[in-house]
Structure 1
Amino acid sequence: MTTNNFADTTIWEGKALFNGWRATGGGVHQVLEPATGEALHTIAIANPQDIAEAALLAKKAQPRWAATPFEERAAILRRAADILRANAETIKPRFVRETGSVPPKVDFELGLAEGMLREAAAMLTQPHGLLLPSTMQRMSIGRRIPHGVVGVIAPFNAPMALSTRAVAPALAVGNTVVLKPDPQTSYAGGYAVAAALLEAGLPQDCLFILPGGVDAGEALVTDPNVAMISFTGSTQAGRRVGELASRHLKKVTLELGGKNSMIVFDDADLDIAASNVAWGSYLHQGQICMTTGRVLVQKSIAEEFIKRLADKAEHLPVGNPATGQVALGPVINQKQLQRIDGIVKDTVAAGASLRAGGKYENLFYRPTVLTDVKPGMRSFDEEVFGPVTSVVTFENEDEAIALNNATEYGLSCGILTKSLERAMYVAHRVNTGKVHINDQTVGDEPWIPFGGSGASGNGGRHGGPANWEEFTQWQWITIQDKANAYPF
């Protein structure tokens, strides 16, 4: 089932998926490989007029797509998953180069996207509603129906997974979709999955892939033909999206940033703890919303733990993931690199100690360990979105809980301890959407409700049963044998 659509870049080079692969009104954008700075490929950029045209076309196509028998919609999604798997080795090299991801991270993301397509297909043989009681002699039904057109805005860091987790279920239940991927990662974040869906038989007017800037994003959020917005990105941008969507009375789901803690108790195995923290902190250069940004370590073991973590950080290989066996690749761009370095420098200036890293060459930032970090310092309070972790000590469970909750974010938490009683005590009191006992903070599966609260999101979820809540709405239908007269 391999296809030339993935190997032949001329099909989409300089274009967007816009009722077929074609040019847009916003010109073209040259995508640079973060590891080398070399030109990788070009994509088309959408302007607000392109967004408006796509939304109108998607709205016209939506009733036909929703009326397509559910078995056919499910079959298209399953075939797309098969095509994605069959072409994974063709997709992978460009994915690595475009995103700066190490190959194992790309393998995981390809598998996750495949699973999301299959999980979306499986939705369609689940119950689509409820039989409800009624005070009258009639049948009362609550059924789930599509919104219409779903606008999806996806980020650069896990582009394929974070676009597919919205696109697949939205299509499955009968919506059409306009996706705006980040222009830096539009191949991994939209084009590759779109090629699989088109090859699988998805009508080309049911999915539009339109990379663009802030103007295109705001046009998508405010367009009258778009009924729902699914946004994944920074908290700052998410606040703006939520404001605009609410002003236009649209359903909006926001998956935003995180300031996630790993809590290491005094009975934890220190080598295992250092391994968990390093993985959670440095995977994909820390450019993951679930990254371990803070390590809360019980004071009695802190110094021994810090030595192990700092040693691990100093010896992790950093370099071009397309040409060498490395643990970390480049961060996405110069702006992000300068922000990371600024947070580290400001935190050290405020009294923290630099135990590893804090250096960079080109876009390669070394894995960094900061200690003596306290609330009020930038690396404690802010999401760094880079390979930087801050070590904070605590005396007891309640202090660890208070430190974990001393943030506006509420996404993920890891707890390392041999005592499940202690772990459950903490798990029930931390303000996070996910808690991993005896595991690190980064994890996702296609069938779990993924999300956070506070500055990490508006309580919306992607995955599993949550997809029905996000990508459909309730319709109430009553049925009775004949109409009755009323007093008027």
Structure 2
Amino acid sequence: MGSYSQWKQMPLGGVWREGNSDSYYENKNPYNNELLVRIKLANNEDIDEAFFVANKVQKEWAQTTAEERSKVMLKAIKLFEERREEFAKILVEESGSTIKKANFEIDTALRYIKEASEFPFKMESETLDSTIKGKKNKIFRIPVGIVSVITPWNFPFNLAIRSVAPALATGNAVILKPDNQTAISGGSFIAKVFEDAGVPKGLISVIIADLKEIGDAVIEHPLANVVSFTGSSKAGKHIASVASKHLKKATLELGGNNAFVVLDDADLDKAVSASIFGKFMHQGQICMSINRIIVDRKVSNEFISKFKSKVEKLTTGDPMSNETNIGPLINKNQINQVNRLVQTSIEEGATVVVKGDVKNNTISPWVLTDVTSEMTIAQEEIFGPIAVIIPVDGEEEAIRVANDTKYGLVGSVFTEDINRGLAFAEKMDCGMFHINDATVNSEPGVPFGGEKDSGLGRHGGEWSIDEFTTVKWVSIQNEARNYPLA
């Protein structure tokens, strides 16, 4: 049954059990292909049961006090910390995270839960003036009901928590559909900890299923009120279409083709350090990863030399080792996709500065330069340890090249002139931008999200509250009113 056979069951409608599908999924370690657990999948019957129970339990959960919901969030943090070592190991063995990345992800996710613990206290009603004599207007912020959360495999814990924690904290139920490749770290483990922290059974259900069997059930189910999706732009467009057809709100955090810009006055040592982190963290399998390094030609040779030197010191191998910088890609399909992009770019005229190597599911870093915006690798999201360097002539060309993409998630610029950096940021078509820092940034109290094909909506702080609540206007007429037709 595999080393994680205790996770063969999933929480469905308040009961930990196997799904009712005839199909199974074999969850394997992407580094060594060892079987972790064989899971009997859920089907549409299970999904109906999950929604039915969630609808009942959510109404009771929404009536709990702000203090009670906040205490559950804080207890969950404590339990995750107590099980950190166990959970980090799961992240390594299930998602191919290096141990460094696993702990980085846990720290980031716990900050999101801490932020969410304050949300119950920020849902107070407010009173607004009325244009009608003797009337009072009260505005109540209330839970939306049931939130369908669909998450990917690359940062399974953090990207689930970013929606699950605020949804629960604001009084909702959650139907969580993780990627099957990370069903434990992105689904079942999360549900178990929240149940242990005091969330009522049935408030969270985890759907581990074959999309070919369940289709769009977690999106279009009549009891789903909001759909929160993180994943590819292609899938996001489909989800948005299905949700809108059923008049459901969708919040979408999608792909990126993120530009890291180095201007002619940049501190190159700092820029190189930031770009190494932003490009190679988790093998480049992050929506915020640097996809294109755009460097002013005046400093490009020096930058490339320093960058190459750093890249050649990165170690590739067993993600459980503290010495490993780059672990495996998630599966063979991703390996093939990255290899295709590299070979196509070379055929299109890119120059190889550092040549990578494939061993099983790992790819050691590639560095390509003399890349142009027209090349395939400059237009597609890479999701692998391939650094692409595009030399440009001056700041205006850097801005034009950086914006030459259908995506608009995040960007960054390195310059010693902060005002120059701020002016650059204003011209960038993206939802997030960083000056003298990497593109990979996530903070629980600021708005996280993109423009264009990178999504709709925002995560973090009061913006998360907006995504998972709605408002109700209640007016009180305190004295007789003269009506036009009375």
TM-score range, shorter chain: over 0.9
Deviation at 1:483, TM superposition (A): 5.7
Q: Secondary structure at the match of 2:205?
A: strand
Pick from 352, 355, 361 the counterpart of residue 353 of structure 2. 355
CA shift, 1:173, in A, is: 1.0
**Aligned equivalents of 2:128, 2:82: Cα separation in 1:** 44
CA distance in 1, matches of 2:366, 2:139: 53
Identity of aligned residues (%): 38
User: 8 Å contact 1:15–1:44 — kept in the other structure?
Assistant: no
Matched-pair contact (CA < 8 Å) for 2:5–2:36: no
The aligned counterpart of 1:191 is 188
Mark the runs of 5 or more structure 2 residues left unpaired by the alignment.
none
Task: For residues 301-335 of structure 1, give each alpha carbon's deviation from its aligned partner in whole angstroms, at most 9, with x where no partner exists.
Answer: 11121122223222210001124621000000001
What is aligned with 1:161? 158
Question: Is contact 1:16-1:44 (8 Å) kept?
Answer: no
C-alpha distance in 1 between matches for 2:200 and 2:249: 25
The residue aligned with 2:137 is 140
- What is the aligned partner in structure 1 of residue 258 from structure 2? 260
Whether 1:273 and 2:271 are equivalent positions in the alignment is: yes
Could you report, residue by residue, the CA deviation over 1:385-423 in whole angstroms, capped at 9, with x for unpaired residues? 111121111222221111111111111111111111211
Q: RMSD across aligned C-alpha pairs, in angstroms?
A: 1.6
Aligned-pair distance for 1:482? Answer: 4.8
CA distance in 1, matches of 2:35, 2:163: 29
Q: Contact (CA 8 Å) 1:299, 1:393: kept in 2 or not? A: yes
Equivalent residue, structure 2, for 1:23: 18
CA distance in 2, matches of 1:81, 1:247: 37
CA displacement, residues 423-457 of structure 1 (integer Å, 9 cap, x when unaligned): 11101111111111110100101222110011110
Q: 1:55 aligns with which of 34, 51, 57?
A: 51
Instruction: Verify the 8 A CA contact 1:16 1:45 in the aligned structure 2.
Output: no
Aligned 8 A contact 1:412 1:435 in 2: yes
After TM superposition, give the deviation of residue 194 of structure 1 in Å.
Answer: 1.4
Q: Provide the C-alpha distance between the structure 1 equivalents of 2:454 and 2:210, rounded to a whole number of angstroms.
A: 22
How many angstroms does 1:106 deviate by?
A: 1.0
Deviation at 1:368, TM superposition (A): 1.5
Task: Give distance in 1, aligned partners of 2:40 and 2:323.
Answer: 33
SS at match of 1:111: helix
> What is the letter of the counterpart of residue 363 of structure 1?
N
2: CA distance, partners of 1:142 / 1:345: 58
Q: Report the residue type matching 1:93 in the other structure.
A: K
Point out the more displaced range, 99-108 or 156-165: 99-108
TM-score, L = length of structure 2: 0.95
Which residue identity lines up with residue 39 of structure 2 in the other structure? Answer: I
Distance 2:170 2:322 in 1: 42
Equivalent position SS for 2:441: coil
Q: Structure 2: which amino acid aligns with 1:19?
A: G
Query: For residue 123 of structure 1, what is the aligned residue in structure 2?
Result: 119
- 1:80 partner letter: A
Shift of 1:278: 1.2
C-alpha contact (below 8 Å) 2:11/2:17 kept by paired residues = yes
Q: Distance in 1 between matches of 2:126 and 2:371?
A: 52
Rounded Cα–Cα distance in structure 2 between residues aligned with 1:40 and 1:73: 34
SS of aligned partner of 2:122: coil
Q: Distance in 2 between matches of 1:408 and 1:192?
A: 36
Mapped contact 1:253–1:461 kept (Cα < 8 A): yes
In structure 2, the partner of 1:5 is: none
Cα deviation, residue 81, structure 1: 1.0
Q: Equivalent residue of 1:468, what SS?
A: helix
Match of 1:175 among 172, 175, 189: 172
Selected match of 2:63 from 35, 50, 67: 67
Mean Cα deviation higher: 183-192 or 254-263: 183-192
CA shift for structure 1 position 18: 4.0
Q: TM-score of the superposition, structure 1-length normalised?
A: 0.95
Q: Is the 8 A contact 1:229 1:253 kept in 2?
A: yes
CA shift, 1:141, in A, is 1.6
Residue 203 of structure 2 is aligned to residue 203 of structure 1: no
Give the corresponding residue for 2:472: 475
Which aligned pairs between 1:217-232 and structure 2 lie closer than 5 A?
Answer: 218-232=216-230
Note the C-alpha offset of 1:75: 1.0
Q: Cα deviation per residue 1:20-72 (whole Å; 9 max; x = unaligned)? A: 21011124322110110111123342222222221122112221111112211
Which whole-Å CA distance do the structure 2 matches of 1:478 and 1:134 have between them? 9
- Name which of 88, 91, 95 aligns with 1:92: 88
Cα distance in 2 between the residues matched to 1:482 and 1:294: 65
Contact map agreement 1:341 1:358 (CA 8 A) in 2: no
Q: Partners in 1 of 2:251 and 2:327 — Cα distance?
A: 31
Aligned letter for 1:61?
V
Q: 1:34, 1:483 → 2: CA distance? A: 71
Give the match's secondary structure for 1:96. helix
Match in the other structure for 2:7? 12
15 and 227 in structure 1: CA distance in 2 versus 1, 3 angstrom threshold: closer
| Counterparts in 2 of 1:47 and 1:328: CA distance versus 1, 3 Å | same
Amino acid of the residue matched to residue 125 of structure 1? F
Give unpaired runs (5+ residues) of structure 1.
1-7
